[in-house]
Amino acid sequence: MKPKVCVVGSANIDQVSYVKRTPNDGETVFGDSYQMGFGGKGANQAVMAGILGAEVYVITCLGSDVYRDMTIENFKNNDVITDYIQTVDGSSGVAPIWVDESGQNRIIVIPGANDLIDGSLAIEALEKIGKPDVLVGQFEIPMNVNEQVFSYAYKNGVETVLNPAPANKPSDILLQNTSWFIPNEIEFEEIYGDIFNENNLLLFAKNVDTNVVVTLGEKGCAYIKNNSVKIIKADSVKAIDTTGAGDAFVGAFSFALASKLDIEECLKLALKKATDSVTKKGTQSSYKN
Q: Which residues are designated catalytic?
A: 247
Residue 197 amino acid letter: N
In the 3-class helix/strand/coil scheme, how is 224-262 assigned residue by residue? EECCEEEEECCCCCCCCCCCCHHHHHHHHHHHHHHCCCC
Distance CA 247, CA 132 (A): 19
Distance CA 235, CA 188 (A): 22
Whether the CB-CB separation of 43 and 10 falls below 8 Å is answered with yes
Distance CA 98, CA 241 (A): 10
Cβ neighbours of 80 (radius 10 Å)? 25
Cβ neighbours of 74 (radius 10 Å)? 19
**Nearest C-alpha neighbor of 268 from the set 220, 212, 197:** 220
Measure CA 189 to chain center: 18
Where does 63-213 have alpha helices with state H?
A: 67-77, 119-129, 143-155, 172-176, 185-192, 198-206
Q: Give whole-number Cα distances, 83 to 56, 92, 203, 289, in Å.
A: 11, 18, 42, 27
